[in-house]
Amino acid sequence: MREFDEIGFPAGAGTAWRQRSMEEWIQRVQRYQADGLDVLLTGLSPLGEVPASPSATELDGIAACLLDVGSPRQA
């Protein structure tokens, strides 16, 4: 399992940074894929940015899991 932000999260990061970082992650995942490994990448990027990345067509597949975590209850 990898966390999207582990490559760094600069101050003022916006859409362009997130999209460049997604492409970087997809290229990393391709290297894991070549070694026969599956990857679970967690993060807050919109799912549509994954297949929109230039290198996404080189992936063997993409699966998504939405985790909706509510706020903790106040006592």
Q: For residue 40, what pLDDT is reported?
A: 87
Rounded Cα distance, 45 and 52, in Å:
12
Computed from CA positions of residues 16, 19, 20, 21, in that sequence, does the dihedral angle turn out positive or negative?
positive
Note the pLDDT of residue 30: 95
Residue 31 to residue 20: CA distance in whole angstroms: 17
Q: Which DSSP symbol is given to 71?
A: P
Q: pLDDT tens per residue, the chain (75 residues)?
A: 787 777 777 788 889 988 999 999 999 999 999 999 998 888 878 889 999 999 999 999 998 888 777 777 776
